Amino acid sequence: MPPPADIVKVAIEWPGAFPKLMEIDQVLMVVVKDNCDVTWSLGSPENFALQIADATNFYITEKNRSDIKNGSILRLTTSPYQTAVQLHERIQSSSMDAKLEALKDLANASRDITFAQEFINLDGISLLTQMVESGTERYQKLQKIMKPCFGDLLSFTLTAFVELMDHSIVSWDTFSVAFIKKIASFVNKTAMDTAVLQRSLAILESMVLNSQDLYHKVAQEITIGQLIPHLQGTDQDIQTYTIAVINALFLKAPEEKRQEMAHILAQKQLRSIILSNVIRSNTPINDEMAHQLYVLQVLNFNLLEDRMMTKMDPQDQAQRDIIFELRRIAFDVELEPNNSGSIEKRKSMYTRDYKKLGFINHVNPAVDFTQIPPGMLALDNMLYFARHHQDAYIRIVLENSSREDKHECPFGRSSIELTKMLCEILKVGELPSENCHDFHPMFFTHDRAFEEFFCICIQLLNKTWKEMRATSEDFNKVMQVVREQIMRALTAKPNSLDQFKSRLQNLSYTEILKIRQSERMNQEDFQSRPILELREKIQPEIMELIKQQRLNRLCEGTCFRKISSRRRQDKFWYCRLSPNHKVLHYGDLEESPQGEVPHDSLQDKLPVADIKAVITGKDCPHMKEKGALKQNKEVLELAFSVLYESDEYLNFIAPDKHEYCVWTDGLNALLGKEMTSEYTKSDMDTLLSMEMKLRLLDLENIQIPEAPPPIPKEPSNYDFVYDCN
């Protein structure tokens, strides 16, 4: 008869003694007392606790005792409270060496939430902040003769602070202006220890993201000019932290301040500095840097949202003058004085020209820009194109005005719809995703990247219109083709706008038709009744195959990331299904694994029989929490939770859409529910199509061998081979 699930066999160590083998089947304090009093005669069992004897050194409590597995090695050590008291005293030592060693131990111990809670209860956070505010001044006197020691002291102090704050026990709003000034001073110094600079930048980012009040205080202490030098170095980690602080300041800035901040970034040439020192450097861009560049890209494009959502006022003369300017540039006419000619004649002339410019409302084109989106942004783009690419603008307008009415490509209408499309493609107005790394280098090559992007695409639209020989009835079809051309060109991640333009040249309408035809052939579907009956017969087999694939993937497991306010220092955890499909094994990891994680290294278990339901999206408990990016649409689409026992949840945020579909499908399959993800539909279509084609092959009178044919012998010579080199 197997032992009860709550009894585990372990070894317990004590320094200088042989490990003791025993079964744990009772309250932990009883186990600790037994070992203290009986085994090693230590006394005062309340001063001792059990730790996992591995790299984490995490304390075992009643809450996490399920982490203990058969064969685990535990260590009897001082209790979290006693350790916290000792470290609280040691870090105040007058000896520099003793203080340094204590701070190093504190930085390691602070990763454990049990210890962190005890240390924080001793007002440990306040002690660390006091050491940063005033203590460092004392060590700065010794800095010239003990510079490495000073850097290590400060580094371990800040590391411990960051680890303690990461547990979200203490509010960020509790910190003084003096502490913020001190942290900012470490960032503002030109020569500062790398580890200190990294942690200082991380603290500033967390302050800004977690408190609107601290945002204002940090913004007063840190300027873009002081952050720029950190981008001009070669350390990509420092560059990443620096861009993260800039992004945090950008994200939390009030709307009225964002344009001002963007102007300062442009003045400081942030874009060109990032382009030359980060994007075009010899160091490959890692995932975190890619994410921060993506966030910066999104925040820059979001500055267009105000114009995108602003309707044009048809009575506003300043706005109407922009339309007059478009007419003047296109037809090389000067604005006539009010007394020249009759009013009717001038109205007729304006109407004719506005029709040539491709506006829907020929009498009052201002009405065309009352649609939001794209609002006034479309008019801004048109004016930029007319002024900065004047020859191309005039050519497009005159080309189309000389065609028959039904074959002309209406420049005004096209520009409005194209601007709207580009805003959709670039997701203007949406918050950046927590998991996305999709930045485009070409948008960092020009100060007016969106406008230049528009200029290239409006010329593409005109070219595609001619290639399709389109009429006004084909307008939506042309826009669909242009969208496909743009999306396919962006997929190649061109390094410059010129490369993007070249890529579009290769994606002509003819090429798009070839690609569509090829894809259509690969997705060919037969609709005759016998074929449909065969599909229905095969479908359950394919669904079972997909189900087995999903369960196999769950058995392999996936590494998930715990979302926290300090993204670069997030923790990882791994979850996988047992081979018998009866238990989910999961546990924390120090870093992302390079392969599968064994079951026995995952501390927690969740029997599948205890699972009540799978919850997705905004209904998940961790999506209802307040956070800077929690309400982001893309994060919501990757979130799911497992409900078990009495309203307990295991919360997930999938690394990508594919893993989300795999896990939600697999969990639903375990619960006997239907797999409804879009990937299941896609896999079903693909496998069903392949199976159908195999079964419909004309194999009459053809004997299919059971074994593969033998491999022919090698030829006696290779004289028939011609070497092209």
CATH number reported for the structural domain that contains residue 564 in this entry: 2.30.29.30
Q: Which helix (H) or strand (E) holds 480?
A: helix 475-491
Is residue 586 scored above 60 in pLDDT?
A: yes
Other CB atoms closer than 10 Å to residue 295's CB: what's the count? Answer: 26
Give the chain's mean pLDDT. Answer: 84
Residue 622 in any domain: the answer is: yes
Do 489 and 566 have their domain in common? no
Q: Does residue 592 have a pLDDT over 50?
A: yes
503 and 547 housed in the same domain? no
pLDDT per position as a tens digit, 671-689: 999 998 989 999 998 898 8
Report pLDDT for 598. 82
Task: Check: CB of residue 485 under 8 Å from CB of residue 464.
Answer: yes
What's the average model confidence in pLDDT over 373-390? 95
- Looking at the DSSP bridge assignments, the partners of residue 586 are 575, 604
Residues forming beta bridges with residue 561, ordered by sequence position: 572
Q: Within this chain, do residues 442 and 548 fall inside the same structural domain, yes or no? A: no
pLDDT of 144 strictly over 50: no
Is the pLDDT confidence value at 444 over 60? yes
Tell me whether residue 303 is in a domain. no
Structure tokens at 569: 């220092």
Measure Cα distances from 481 to 38, 85, 463, 709 in Å.
Answer: 81, 69, 11, 47
Dihedral over Cα of 205, 207, 210, 216: its sign: negative
Q: Which of 392-396, 450-454, 620-624 has the lowest mean pLDDT?
A: 620-624
Average pLDDT over residues 614-634: 70
Of 487, 519, 551, the position where a domain reaches its end is 519
Sorted by sequence, the CB contacts under 8 Å of residue 16 that are 6+ apart come out as none
Domain boundary among 244, 267, 284: 284
Structural domain that includes position 466: 309-333+342-519
pLDDT score recorded for residue 369: 92
Instruction: Convert the pLDDT of each residue in 165-183 to its tens digit.
Output: 988 888 898 888 889 999 9
Q: What are residue 109's phi and psi, to 5 degrees? A: -70, -30
Is 470 within 8 Å of 409 (Cβ atoms)? yes
**Average pLDDT in the 248-272 region?**
89
Give the C-alpha distances (Å, rounded to integers) separating 183 from 136, 154, 186, 211, 488. Answer: 11, 11, 5, 16, 45
In-domain check, residue 242: yes
Runs of H (alpha helix) within 253-310: 255-267, 270-274, 287-301, 305-308
With the C-alpha atoms ordered 625, 631, 636, 638, is the resulting torsion angle positive or negative?
Answer: negative
Contact 560, 587 (CB under 8 A): no
In eight-state DSSP terms, residue 627 is -
Element (H, E) at 254: none
Q: What is the pLDDT of residues 208-231, one digit of tens each?
A: 998 888 999 999 998 888 899 999
Burial 147-158 (b: 16+ CB within 10 A, else e): eebbbbbbbbbb
Given 78, 106, 132, the domain boundary residue is 78
Whether 511 and 641 map to the same domain: the answer is: no
In a shared domain, residues 352 and 474? yes
Q: Please tell me the predicted confidence (pLDDT) of residue 564.
A: 60
Q: What is the pLDDT of residues 639-652, one digit of tens each?
A: 899 998 777 888 89
Q: Give the H or E element holding residue 560.
A: strand 558-561
Residues 326, 423, single domain; the answer is yes
Q: Are strands 611-616 and 639-644 parallel, antiparallel or unpaired?
A: antiparallel
| Residue in this structure with the two tokens 């290294």, named with its chain if needed | 601
Question: What is the distance, to the nearest Å, from the Cα of residue 670 to the centroid of all Cα atoms in its chain?
Answer: 29
User: Which amino acid makes up residue 467?
Assistant: E
Q: What is the mean predicted confidence (pLDDT) over 284-301?
A: 94
Is the CB of residue 621 less than 8 Å from the CB of residue 651?
yes
Which residue stretches of 222-286 are H helix? 224-231, 236-252, 255-267, 270-274
Is a pLDDT exceeding 90 seen at residue 691? Answer: no
* pLDDT score at 120: 93
Each residue's pLDDT tens digit, 297-336: 999 999 999 999 999 988 888 888 999 999 999 887 654 5
| CA 401/CA 336 separation, integer angstroms | 22
Higher pLDDT, 140 or 294: 294
Q: How far apart are CA 457 and CA 445, in angstroms?
A: 17
Are 381 and 461 members of one domain? yes
Query: Order of strands, edge to edge, in the sheet holding 20-24?
Result: 20-24, 8-13, 73-78, 48-52
DSSP three-state, residue 573: strand
User: Could you give the angle at the alpha carbon of 372 between the alpha carbons of 369 and 377, nearest 5°?
Assistant: 60
Pairing label, strands 572-577, 583-589: antiparallel
The reply to whether 162 falls in a domain is no
Q: Which residue has the tokens 């105040």?
A: 92
Cα angle value 411/415/421 (rounded, 5°): 145
Establish if 624 belongs to a structural domain.
Answer: yes
Q: Is residue 113 part of a domain?
A: no
Q: The tokens of 609 are what?
A: 């029989």
What is the arrangement of strands in the sheet containing 611-616, beginning at the earlier edge strand? 611-616, 639-644, 648-653
- Looking at per-residue pLDDT, the higher value among 617 and 700 belongs to 617
Task: Flag whether pLDDT at 37 surpasses 80.
Answer: no
The verdict on 374 and 480 lying in the same domain is yes
What confidence score (pLDDT) does residue 628 get? 40
Q: How confident is the model at residue 36 (pLDDT cuts 50, 70, 90)?
A: low
Rg (the chain; Cα; Å): 33
Instruction: Look at 118-132, 310-324, 453-467, 562-576 and tell me which has the smallest mean pLDDT.
Output: 562-576
Say how far apart CA 381 and CA 373 lie, in whole Å: 13
Distance from the Cα of residue 319 to its chain's centroid? 39
Residue 48 belongs to a domain with what CATH number? 3.10.20.90
Do 506 and 639 fall within a single domain? no
438 is a domain residue: yes
Residues counted in the chain: 725
pLDDT in tens, 77-94: 888 899 999 999 999 888
pLDDT at 187 over 80: yes
505: in domain: yes
210 contacts 172 by C-beta, under 8 angstroms: yes
pLDDT at 150 over 70: no
User: 545 and 510 in one domain?
Assistant: no
In angstroms, rounded to a whole number, what is the distance separating the alpha carbons of residues 416 and 359? 9
Is 204 a residue whose pLDDT tops 90? yes
2 pLDDT exceeds 50? no
457/449 Cα distance (integer angstroms): 12
Give whole-number Cα distances, 65 to 604, 605, 638, in Å: 9, 11, 30
What share of the chain in percent tops pLDDT 90? Answer: 43
**Which is higher by pLDDT, 17 or 683?**
683
Total structural domains in the chain? 4
Question: What DSSP state is assigned to residue 59?
Answer: B
Q: Which residue has the higher pLDDT, 56 or 80?
A: 80
Closest by Cα among 177, 191, 186, 174 to 219: 177
Reported confidence tier of residue 203, pLDDT bands at 50, 70, 90: very high
Both 253 and 366 in one domain: the answer is no
268, 317: one domain: no
Please give the angle made by the CA atoms of 541, 579 and 61, to the nearest 5 degrees.
140
Residue with the bigger pLDDT between 292 and 525: it is 292
